[in-house]
Amino acid sequence: MAGVSPATSGTSRQQVVFDTEVDPDWIPFFTESPMELVPTESMPEVCIEHGLPAVEHRPFFVHSNGPHSEWPTLRAMLMSVAPFVQRLPVEATVRFDCPACEFCLAEIRRSRWIAVLALLVVPLTIAGIFTAVSLELRQLYVPLAFAFLPGCMPIALLAATLAWSRSGFFADVWMNQDADQLIVSAHPDFAAAVERNRAETR
């Protein structure tokens, strides 16, 4: 049963629960493919993170095994690609349109600019190395070598990857253990809007 319950994190955020159902447009081609789910009700025109009026809806998804719902961090990114980490199989994926406000869109743009600037460091450093070699500026060889390794490889690339992954983050969401409910850690105004919508449809 979908509902709203206070979050246990000690903050003012609330956990909003949406029931899910199999996407009627989902056609599995392989038996191992994860089940595609969608929420049984639409989300209000309110930003999940900030509680402000939504100005855009952006595609979002979460796997039943996580950790796509978690805020992207360097540690989480490295753990996701580590070969020794045991990963749970994905049983289902919930896809939905996530309401985003102006603050969300500004954060997206900022994260993408950071990613682009981090990537630009790589060709600029390489160009600096070639320039220093061609002009025989030996006093720059060591600083530029450190700027390239580990400066560009891998620090700049990791920073760019992390910033770009954060540009796709819109809400802290996850699925319950039975993979039949979508749980959203939401702003109280979003939770109130959900309750109003449900009250109107009863």
DSSP 50-98: T-PBPSEEEEEEEETT-STTSPP-HHHHHHHH-TTS------EEEEEEE
Separation between Cα atoms, residue 5 and residue 16, nearest integer Å: 6
Separation between Cα atoms, residue 130 and residue 156, nearest integer Å: 19
**In this predicted model, what pLDDT tens digit does every residue of 90-112 receive, in sequence order?**
788 999 999 999 999 999 999 99
What is the pLDDT, as a whole number, of residue 33?
67
8 A C-beta contact, residue 180 and residue 19: yes
* 64 & 149 share domain: no
In 3D space, the residue among 58, 139, 145 whose CA is nearest the CA of residue 98 turns out to be 58
What is the pLDDT, as a whole number, of residue 9?
41
* 91 & 12 share domain: yes
Q: Is 137 left (phi over 0), alpha (psi -120 to 50) or beta?
A: beta
Average the pLDDT over 1-23 and give the result.
72
> Is the pLDDT score of 184 beyond 80?
yes
Total structural domains within the chain: 2
Q: Which two tokens stand for residue 188?
A: 């109280």
For the chain, what is the mean pLDDT? 83
* 26 & 46 share domain: yes
* 9 & 64 share domain: yes
Domain extent for 151: 109-162
> Is the pLDDT score of 8 beyond 60?
no
Question: Which pTM value belongs to this model?
Answer: 0.74
* 16 & 82 share domain: yes
- 79 falls in which pLDDT band (50, 70, 90)? low
* 93 & 11 share domain: yes
The alpha-helical segments, DSSP class H, found in the chain are: 74-81, 102-134, 141-146, 157-166, 188-201
* 88 & 177 share domain: yes
R_g of the chain, CA atoms, integer Å: 22
What is the pLDDT, as a whole number, of residue 47?
94
Q: Which two tokens stand for residue 48?
A: 């999940």
* 127 & 97 share domain: no
* 88 & 151 share domain: no
8 A C-beta contact, residue 94 and residue 43: no
* 80 & 148 share domain: no
What is the pLDDT, as a whole number, of residue 146?
81
* 46 & 91 share domain: yes
* 176 & 150 share domain: no
Separation between Cα atoms, residue 199 and residue 192, nearest integer Å: 11
Work out the percent of the chain whose per-residue pLDDT is above 90: 38
